């Protein structure tokens, strides 16, 4: 996995939480259930991510820097998928 892909993977839980929070806030504003795919929710999520994106990325980079490196995987650890280096 490339460095940028792994950073995005680390950010997924925070992004999911932002989406859920914005859907909940919009539902509170409207007084009824609002889905996570609502256009207002999407726009608000984009605004939040633009506002805190640098902090999320820096936090993910710190997590990645302190995570143990996987140098190799035995075939038994890959559920039948053989990963060949390089």
pLDDT tens across 22-71, in order? 999 999 999 999 999 999 999 999 999 999 999 998 988 888 888 776 55
Q: What is the pTM of this model?
A: 0.69
Say how many domains are in the chain: 1
Non-local CB neighbours of 59 within 8 Å, separated by 6+ positions: 14
Q: What is the pLDDT of residue 69?
A: 67
Give Cα separations from 10 to 5, 26, 43, 51 (angstroms): 9, 26, 22, 18
Question: Domain for residue 50, yes or no?
Answer: yes
Question: Domain for residue 79, yes or no?
Answer: no
User: What's phi and psi for 70, nearest 5 deg?
Assistant: -95, 115
Domain that holds residue 51: 3-66
Non-local CB neighbours of 61 within 8 Å, separated by 6+ positions: 7
Q: How confident is the model at residue 74 (pLDDT cuts 50, 70, 90)?
A: low
């Amino acid at each position: 996995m490339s460095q940028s892909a792994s950073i995005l993977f680390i950010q997924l839980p925070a992004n999911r939480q932002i989406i859920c929070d914005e859907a909940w806030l919009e539902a509170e504003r409207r007084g009824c259930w609002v889905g996570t795919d609502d256009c207002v929710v999407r726009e608000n999520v984009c605004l939040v991510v633009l506002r805190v994106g640098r902090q999320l990325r820096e936090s993910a980079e710190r997590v990645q820097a302190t995570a143990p490196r996987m140098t190799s995987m035995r075939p038994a650890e890959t559920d039948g998928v053989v990963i060949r280096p390089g």
